[in-house]
Structure 1
């Protein structure tokens, strides 16, 4: 093999910093320096803020293989995990998403039934009504309006609150703390405090559900606690994960997807037809094209693993750069072009393997309803500012826009 310990050390001398900056005027594309690495090699070294130099996995096939490899760990407590910053004392994992099997599978199985394709499909009419109601409010209100605040954030927040059994009246509290957790520049102590505040909040709700259960996911977890299958702390942690993941990612996809479509009017015109097959295809293509998880999926090797002519040693970090994996020309021809008719289901926006996003069917449904309704009901929807003035989220684990001024 060409990779040895000495050679690996040499590789780190000129390792570029990661994450890398996007090009000015190209907010939907991965950083050019990141794209160029994909052509150079399957694996390259990058340097994180803490000085560590994990491997950046550049290509779709290798990312998919490694995310499905049991020799690769998602647990940040393992030495070599590429967190990029020290984990503060008392720092917590966000439930099973940062665990390995068998503990990961034990916890995940407890809520899988809430996210099956059949169960999610039964939510379509309720989500459609919610989306229509929010559009009615948009049309009756002033303009221009911030689509993030008025539509993109409330829709998934209301959906996940209903599913979990969380009072939507508390949305300011959990949205503020969620932002602190996922924002890249949040000091470790503040991130820990935000996580603790959410955990305590969800723990109180689980306690309430133990006394007065309802027909919601938290009540289901509360029953597990009563039966001794789950601790209250574990139930609260699962609630934190679902609350954050259930609104942040989808909200950013609604807003960023809308902006991308407004910047590609010929694609938007086709979508306004309401054709269900095209809407479903558009969701997959926008997930591929935008890939809002833009800091990469982080892992660490538990054993030596060969990837082409490189040996990733046990204890070395891995970063799956899914944004360039989803543009890999070996899988997606002309991948830098947005094509809503593309068959893009092989994208890695939801990850792959045992840690593939549990809520992906719910996210798909919400996006299908939004993309199939918003532009049809407001056909003259337009950006109320210029693209350069839109504040993009370059500083977080989830990419998107902080505000999206629109009019019609």
Structure 2
């Protein structure tokens, strides 16, 4: 099932049958479970936990882990694009569950921890969250103040995190805290005494998702809760690289959805006695949107091939995340213009995508952080600190 713009791009000629299959699996899920309800859910700020179980039934939740072995890296990226074409909130769900929480456990956890959590999370029967960002050190995770202190055979966690996706729905939290010997990762049962997750109100973006303020009031966890391989801040940042890769793909879904809305209306709507699509300025805008979309998708595909070959660097991911978010925002703004006044209404998904992209631009590294990561690679000079 291809779209007009995908036909012009001829993306399928560069994809394997398995990759196309994963794209269609995700596209079908969006058509059946997300697109029919997303406008109402955005208005009502409603998150649907049942979509996690639908993702689990498709096998999509396992792709970030499986892709390290069977080459499904691009399939995961395509799934991210399809989910974000529905709404960024549900690509965020896939990213938090798979790229962040499950990848943390798979990469750094003990066999017991993997057996305890990964099968249930892959099936969508358990939800994880990733607690790294803090209220006063969003772009400076090295400045975290959440502490992990030894008490006999246990650890005691104290502190606060902010903007933690789906923490109030999660069964387990991957928590990063500063111990005496450096940053460590822990698996915290969200039913633990002293754990609190409160949704952040007043959001005008990602309204079909939930982000929380999380507090740890002397939360006691056993030694077995520590992720044995998660020592040092670099282990947490490595998980962010996986999430940023999914974003580079995902935002092109929001862009495509907006572009297709503008293209469809330009064919149907008449002005000055002829279809909008026959006007030169409208065709110029459509052509500009397509070339931006093509650029973003091909960059994401290149990153996917590098990742499958285990040659993808953090700076390359930053290039994809920074550049593709900017391209998506430009496409969405242009699409809104083609739609005219109706483009600001919920009759079209464009303003919803536009609002969501503002959050996507900020999380998993702001524009400025990605600029400095790229700049550090280009100049061999570190300007971040």
The structure with higher relative contact order (CA 8 Å, sep 6+) is 1
More strand by share: 2
More helix by share: 2
TM value normalised by structure 1:
0.27
TM value normalised by structure 2:
0.28
